[in-house]
């Protein structure tokens, strides 16, 4: 993506300062969503609680409906909110099944707004088109004032807002690496892909955990982070000016080649293709793996977990690594999916649900939605939320999943478990991304019906071919021949022009040249 496009992404994003994160939860009084029939008169009877059936992804233990937080939340916003919690590793599959069945809950968390099934559902009328209701946000000032405005643009489908984006800052994930193991082996934290390869190869051949075996995992393939170093964040065009999906480019093949070499050196485990995200996290927390790609705010927790079995464990984050055609990094879109309202609910209920989401996005509720009740789940230390014992048990990655909340620049960087001084240091480390012209992943935004159609049929096959190429089961020439074969598919050919059109719609004609 050209520099001016990256600048556009960054300059148009409205990110709250640290004050948004540090603000205390103001849960006094009632900020209940208005019903369409409400008036400003003080004697208007409060409407019956809004009954919402929702669906959200679950990373850990979900807050229970009879918990103090949930009861307080329902009272505060005048709702009766029941959530179907689905494990994160299978969430998209469950979404697909629900959409196919047509039995869509009132409110759904959408974790990927460009997933083929989601685009198809939106275009087919499964969700309310909120565009005419949102307008210029004059009726929804919280959305205007407290959320990342760029997210409302990047999450559109055919120019329409079917989702209320779950907005945040652009700083998010990095590679975690065991600093104590680097020290033990007299290694420096890598700054380039080449240095990273040398480091993980050395670790995999050594015995950093002292168990007498050379069984430590160096790294696991992660295209979301590493592929960018090979130029995958820039649009690659065909002879007609169309944009090829990154998976089918020579740049992506170069990423696969890099992982193949690490596999051959023993830095990647033989069973890598079978290890899911939850298992990867567990492996890093228990000292079986030297590296892990995760949201920066988990750094403190990862250190604490590793120290339970290996005293003195220390984690360093690598926001980026310099590569041959760019930097390996993750630069967030400024939102993570969004909430979609089922078209099955009538307009009156849709408006009340929209009001509920608008109410929770008020800056004053940021701490409440993310950390729970002050004095029960967290206390303020130096103005920063610090979890209590109860909070450590109840507040986790899934806590805020069913809500919309105000944007905070460091929402995915600050840990509620860590001292403020620790978080401030991590902030400075992650802010390095601002200095390298960090780029978003284009295909988390660009849309193509033709691609959605063909990818739904070949994505499993592609993943298998990629894994085979990395493991050496097929040659790189065979993998590239497979890419070329897909490029000849009529739907893939058509997708190139659709991606180019989408690119122009999102980023403008000047960026599309």
> pLDDT digit string (tens) for 298-327?
999 999 999 999 999 999 999 999 999 999
Q: Say yes or no to pLDDT of 130 above 90.
A: yes
| Torsional sign, CA 323, 329, 334, 336 | positive
Q: Say yes or no to pLDDT of 142 above 80.
A: yes
Q: Say yes or no to pLDDT of 42 above 80.
A: no
- What is the rounded distance in angstroms from the CA atom of residue 249 to the CA atom of residue 224? 15
pLDDT at 300 (0 to 100): 96
**Closest by CA position to 113, among listed 151, 155, 152, 153:** 155
**Closest by CA position to 27, among listed 376, 393, 413:** 376
- What is the rounded distance in angstroms from the CA atom of residue 354 to the CA atom of residue 485? 45
Q: Say yes or no to pLDDT of 468 above 60.
A: yes
DSSP letter assigned to residue 248 = G
pLDDT at 511 (0 to 100): 54
- What is the rounded distance in angstroms from the CA atom of residue 214 to the CA atom of residue 231? 34
- What is the rounded distance in angstroms from the CA atom of residue 261 to the CA atom of residue 257? 6
Per cent of the chain over pLDDT 70 is 90
pLDDT at 243 (0 to 100): 98
At 314, phi and psi to the nearest 5?
A: -140, 140
pLDDT, tens digit, 9 for 90 and up, residues 186-200? 999 999 999 999 999
pLDDT at 6 (0 to 100): 38
pLDDT at 225 (0 to 100): 98
- What is the rounded distance in angstroms from the CA atom of residue 157 to the CA atom of residue 419? 41
Segment 129-155 shows an average pLDDT of 96
286 contacts 224 by C-beta, under 8 angstroms: no
pLDDT at 17 (0 to 100): 33
- What is the rounded distance in angstroms from the CA atom of residue 368 to the CA atom of residue 192? 40
Average pLDDT, the chain: 89
Map tokens 């919280």 to a residue. Answer: 142
457 contacts 240 by C-beta, under 8 angstroms: no
Q: Say yes or no to pLDDT of 467 above 70.
A: yes
Q: Indicate the pLDDT class of residue 37, thresholds 50, 70 and 90.
A: very low
Separation of first and last alpha carbons in the chain: 11
Segment 153-168 shows an average pLDDT of 94
HEC readout, 366-434: HHHHHHCCECCCEEEECCEEEECHHHHHHCCCCCCCCCCCCCCCCCCCCCCCCCHHHHHHHHHHHHHHH
Map tokens 């033990």 to a residue. Answer: 184
Segment 178-190 shows an average pLDDT of 97
Q: Indicate the pLDDT class of residue 3, thresholds 50, 70 and 90.
A: very low
- What is the rounded distance in angstroms from the CA atom of residue 174 to the CA atom of residue 158? 32
pLDDT at 12 (0 to 100): 36
Q: Say yes or no to pLDDT of 174 above 60.
A: yes
pLDDT at 508 (0 to 100): 80
pLDDT at 28 (0 to 100): 32
pLDDT, tens digit, 9 for 90 and up, residues 418-452? 999 999 999 999 999 999 989 999 999 999 999 98
Q: Which of 49-63, 218-232, 482-496 has the lowest mean pLDDT?
A: 49-63
Q: Say yes or no to pLDDT of 32 above 70.
A: no
> Residue 118 has which token pair?
């989601």
Q: Say yes or no to pLDDT of 90 above 50.
A: yes
Segment 313-342 shows an average pLDDT of 96
Helix axes 193-205, 250-264, angle to 10 degrees: 30
Per cent of the chain over pLDDT 90 is 80
Domains of the chain and CATH, by start: 50-170+333-412 (3.40.190.10), 192-329+445-506 (3.40.190.10)
Cα-to-chain-centroid distance, residue 51: 28
- What is the rounded distance in angstroms from the CA atom of residue 408 to the CA atom of residue 405? 9
- What is the rounded distance in angstroms from the CA atom of residue 308 to the CA atom of residue 281? 15
- What is the rounded distance in angstroms from the CA atom of residue 220 to the CA atom of residue 262? 9
Q: Say yes or no to pLDDT of 127 above 90.
A: yes
Segment 213-224 shows an average pLDDT of 96
Pairing of the two strands 50-58 and 107-110: parallel
Q: Within a 10 A sphere around the Cβ of 36, how many other Cβ atoms? A: 12
pLDDT, tens digit, 9 for 90 and up, residues 93-122? 999 999 999 999 999 999 999 888 899 999
**Beta bridge partners of residue 254, listed in sequence order:** none
Q: Is 446 helix (H, G, I), strand (E, B) or coil?
A: coil
**Contacts made by residues 136-145, CB under 8 angstroms, sequence distance 24+:** 140/354, 140/358, 142/358, 142/359, 142/361, 142/362, 142/363, 142/406, 143/358, 143/361, 145/363
């Amino acid at each position: 993506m050209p520099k001016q496009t990256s600048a556009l992404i960054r300059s148009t994003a409205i990110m709250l300062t640290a004050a948004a994160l540090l603000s205390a939860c103001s849960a006094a009084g009632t900020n209940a969503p208005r019903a369409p029939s409400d008036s400003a008169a003080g004697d208007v009877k409060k409407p019956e609680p809004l009954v919402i059936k929702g669906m959200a992804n679950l990373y850990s233990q979900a807050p229970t409906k009879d918990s103090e937080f949930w009861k307080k939340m329902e009272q505060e916003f005048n709702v009766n909110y029941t959530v179907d919690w689905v494990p994160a590793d299978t969430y998209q599959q469950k979404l697909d099944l629900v959409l196919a069945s047509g039995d869509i809950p009132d409110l759904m968390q959408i974790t990927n707004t460009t997933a083929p099934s989601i685009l198809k559902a939106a275009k087919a009328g499964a969700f309310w088109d909120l565009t005419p209701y949102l307008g210029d946000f004059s009726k929804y000032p919280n959305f205007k004032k407290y959320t990342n405005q760029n997210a409302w643009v990047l999450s559109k489908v055919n120019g329409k807002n079917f989702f209320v984006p779950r907005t945040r800052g652009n700083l998010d994930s990095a590679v975690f690496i065991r600093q104590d193991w680097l020290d033990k082996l007299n290694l420096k934290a890598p700054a380039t892909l080449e240095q990273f390869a040398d480091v993980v190869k050395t670790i995999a051949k050594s015995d950093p955990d002292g168990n007498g075996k050379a069984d430590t995992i160096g790294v696991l393939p992660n295209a979301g982070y590493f592929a960018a170093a090979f130029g995958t964040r820039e649009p690659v065009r065909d002879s007609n000016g169309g944009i090829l999906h990154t998976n089918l480019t020579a740049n992506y093949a170069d990423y696969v080649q890099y992982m193949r070499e690490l596999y051959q050196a023993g830095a990647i485990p033989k069973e890598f293709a079978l290890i899911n995200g939850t298992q990867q996290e567990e492996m890093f927390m228990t000292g079986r793996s030297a590296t892990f790609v995760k949201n920066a705010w988990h750094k403190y927790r990862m250190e604490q977990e590793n120290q339970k079995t290996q005293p003195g464990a220390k984690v360093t984050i690598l926001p980026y690594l310099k590569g041959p055609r760019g930097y390996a990094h993750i630069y967030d879109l400024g939102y993570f999916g969004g909430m979609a309202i089922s078209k099955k609910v009538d307009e009156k209920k849709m408006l009340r649900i929209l009001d509920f989401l608008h109410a929770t996005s008020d800056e004053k509720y940021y701490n409440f939605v993310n950390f729970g009740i002050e004095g029960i789940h967290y206390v303020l230390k130096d103005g920063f939320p610090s979890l209590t014992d109860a909070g450590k048990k109840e507040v986790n990655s899934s806590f805020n999943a069913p809500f919309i909340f105000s944007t905070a620049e460091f929402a995915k960087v600050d840990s509620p478990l860590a001292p403020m001084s620790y978080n401030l240091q991590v902030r400075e480390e992650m802010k390095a991304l601002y200095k390298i012209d960090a780029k978003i992943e284009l295909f988390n935004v660009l849309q193509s019906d033709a691609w959605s159609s063909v990818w739904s049929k070949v994505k499993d096959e592609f993943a298998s071919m990629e894994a085979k190429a990395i493991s050496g089961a097929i040659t790189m020439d065979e993998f590239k021949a497979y890419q070329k074969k897909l490029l000849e598919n009529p739907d893939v050919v058509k997708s190139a022009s659709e991606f180019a059109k989408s690119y122009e719609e999102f980023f403008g004609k000047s960026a599309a040249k």
